[in-house]
Amino acid sequence: MIYADFECMLQKIQTCQPSDEAPYTNTYQKHVSNNFVYHVKYSNENYKPPVEYSGEDAPKVFYQKLKEEALHIAEEYYDKVVPMIPLTEQEKIEFKTQNNCHICERSLNVLPPLLVQKLVTKKNKSNITQL
């Protein structure tokens, strides 16, 4: 989980005079980002101290820092191949005898409706091209 916060200042801007002939929005100020802080946290353990930055280019630096964090997380956690702990004999038996998915409880002997629909559509298309 990444928690982030941006701080902005309101900067006055020049506006034009309202017109009765056309709709308008009277814009008189804009948000200018000037600093941020973010903190990467995993379930119950902190990944590292908060990262803080102040400067006119805060949005650009924020994007670059988050991109670096994402690449680091991918390399350190998602791209690492971790061998599976071998199943016990009891787990092997349970695996081979399961009839239902342990998540959605749908039968493992019946195809999911979306897959059936895709297969039927693909079959119909191939029948049409053969004609």
pLDDT, tens digit, 9 for 90 and up, residues 12-64:
888 767 777 777 777 788 888 899 999 988 766 767 889 999 998 999 999 99
Of the ranges 12-16, 93-97, 102-106, 117-121, which is most confident? Answer: 93-97
Closest residue by Cα to residue 35 from 13, 5, 15:
5
Q: What global pTM score does this model have?
A: 0.55
Mean pLDDT of the chain: 84
Neighbours of 62 (CB within 10 A): 19
> What is the H or E stretch that residue 51 is in?
strand 51-54
Residue 128, pLDDT score: 53
The domain limits of the chain are: 2-78, 99-130
